[in-house]
Structure 1
């Protein structure tokens, strides 16, 4: 049996004006290119669960328009993709099925819309892949009854204590600027718009720290000086465990990036550990700059809205440790109008954020946001998954027109990612951190070097 693991993650803005603008503002597309260039950790993990006697190959197909037919022939292919590229994934699946190849589809989009995906696949995986993969392999080996149409992992509780080593060795390491390691799955918060691993695993679960370290060490054996991205929704939820993780990671001498929430700034000990553990940058979803803008988007305890007034202080605390903050803001939230563009601009100026990520509120299938907006008649075109890029508008905003939102995005992007402003923000970060070090040295405090 020859198995192909195919990742399709070449997400690009559907709006041609925005694409053209992005080409002239490298800072605008910098983070999104990183995301699109990350290998599929899900597929590499399934590869780690696949018996050694099965011939495997991992492929990435960023743009099906560049293909004539299929990239390579297999007996079976497992295809993973984002919503924005799911039509292309379906087209590739159809091409493979036309050759008599068995096709398995899975991931966030497929979990949200399995019946849609089944029109283009022999089998679909709903939820986490790990607990059902051995059954899929067994069914592929068996002539009867053979592959089932649906493998629903939601009825099979999965523990990270059983997590396999992802097959990083299948990658051409030189093609990547970072590799991913997952330390946990899920998130205790319930943001209305979130289409991350919470939709795959609604139960928050952590991976044993020794297994996290083993994965980092495996990457180091393949790549002398790797940069790691922790593929988590919210890495530092459990502060006690986070400190254990940081102590272990610090021994590995790697630089890394992760996503977290604002509460990381509440724990001085954890903050002091970040830089020595190799943390280069944390990404934090601020979403917007006022209570009315973020009121209600976190649906469990309205936690984000309660923290708006502490944004500036939190950024200062983190960046004073020499750890960059990538502040994420969402345009088009129901509590915002055209005034929000200038408000975010002024906040970025005032905060000296090292990096800024601006996206448009996006109604992804399977999220509470999509359900609500569809019920309110505010989805612009049903099943227009190609608009789920985080930069295209797929809904009717509450307090502005679609054209207002699109124009506001373009204008804010032009200002925020100009060479001048990007340079100003980053210079301020380094200047402030050096001043902090000088102040600590004068006071006789032990500090880490730059």
Structure 2
């Protein structure tokens, strides 16, 4: 059987354009800490595609954050038959430029991921073929078509395509392609999608509807990771892990069997289930990130289809206290730029962060990612700053005209807030409170 070669390239890392925020980031470790973690994560999507690749294809995996012309020439010299790109929206224009360069050397270019799924017609201008939605079914078909000289410009696993990938068919990602020494954590996916479907979210249903991975497969993936790394730190590549509480408890029972620390994203409903919190603590969960979104109840109205988050607002403080009382730190995520935001919102956000005793916080700018409800709303209102603003989709750069501020006023208020909440002093204060909670918990257990 003829042998082929495919190079999978992850366009990792995101660059903030706002010069004042960039300057702040150089001196405020709390501000850059989370972005550094995200940039250091391998592309689980590409590693998953690698596991669904036929045996007659040799796979190379590469991450291009900071790269040189020599790096590009090295890839060309390896003479891959196909280069498959995965890129965040913020780096898609850079990906298009690289793809154009590789195509000039006769290399066929494949693109997939969130942005390409949202904007397939745009991506097809720079690629020989694009994959919309989940890649596990489309990728093997694409490779077979390539071998026959019949590569199609478009492959889709979205609902209208008639294809639906069942996670029971999933294979273990090719973690063996990684140089483990370069990472401080690895990614593992247990669920896809999120049923809340917030109007600004670019991930909740773009690739897949909400679905859970079989526990037996998760166990095999953990065994694979532990075969490469004795005591890994694992970040779950989930949008909302603990939606199904019964399944979640079984997942946590599995996790508790492995000597690992881990992090994930979920929603505030975990605070309503004491048994789940006990299992979270027993399974050595280091932290959960919860999207509180805003510190004003009015801002939560119509944020998701069922107004679920709005109904939770009055429980925010108690939920945070309860979760952290189990020794699980909470990273609170807040977004600024909603139409309900005023100058006062920046003050209440700072006050909420302090009064809630959150261990960590993540504050970002509202960003209209392509094909979201927010994107179409702002586009219809002629409020987007430009047609192609993809490189500014960093979560820290303004991309549209806010309702109650000028762009300059919004950026100034955001910068001032960041300068205050991400000082080393405030970061230490948040950490020290959580340490006191852990100490009290330990004393309670020992008495």
TM-score by length of 1: 0.95
Correspondence for 2:88 among 68, 76, 82: 82
Q: 1:27 and 1:140 mapped to 2: Cα distance?
A: 47
| Residue in 1 that maps onto 2:21 | 18
Moved more, 276-285 or 425-434: 425-434
Q: 1:35 and 1:66 mapped to 2: Cα distance?
A: 25
| Residue in 1 that maps onto 2:57 | 54
Find out whether 1:159 has 2:166 as its counterpart.
yes
CA offsets 1:311-346 (integer angstroms, 9 cap, x no match)? 110100111011110000001111111111111111
Long gaps (5+) in structure 2: none
* 1:20-419 equivalence runs, <5 A: 20-63=23-66, 69-73=72-76, 74-143=80-149, 146-154=150-158, 155=161, 156-201=163-208, 203-298=209-304, 300-419=305-424
Q: Is the 8 A contact 1:217 1:252 kept in 2?
A: no
Q: Is the 8 A contact 1:295 1:335 kept in 2?
A: no
Long gaps (5+) in structure 1: 443-450
What is the Cα deviation at residue 71 of structure 1? 4.6
Q: Is the 8 A contact 1:70 1:96 kept in 2?
A: no
Q: 2:363 and 2:107 mapped to 1: Cα distance?
A: 40
Q: 1:291 and 1:229 mapped to 2: Cα distance?
A: 30
CA offsets 1:375-422 (integer angstroms, 9 cap, x no match)? 011111111111111000101111222112111111111111111010
What is the Cα deviation at residue 438 of structure 1? 2.5
Q: Runs ≥4 in structure 1, deviation > 4 angstroms?
A: 64-71
CA offsets 1:236-279 (integer angstroms, 9 cap, x no match)? 00000000000011011211100000001000100111111120
Tell me the matched-pair count. 438
Q: Is the 8 A contact 2:296 2:345 kept in 1?
A: no
SS at structure 1 position matched to 2:238 = coil
Q: 2:352 and 2:51 mapped to 1: Cα distance?
A: 44
What is the Cα deviation at residue 366 of structure 1? 1.1
Q: Is the 8 A contact 2:327 2:437 kept in 1?
A: no
What is the Cα deviation at residue 440 of structure 1? 5.0
TM-score by length of 2: 0.96
CA offsets 1:105-133 (integer angstroms, 9 cap, x no match)? 01111111111111110000011111111
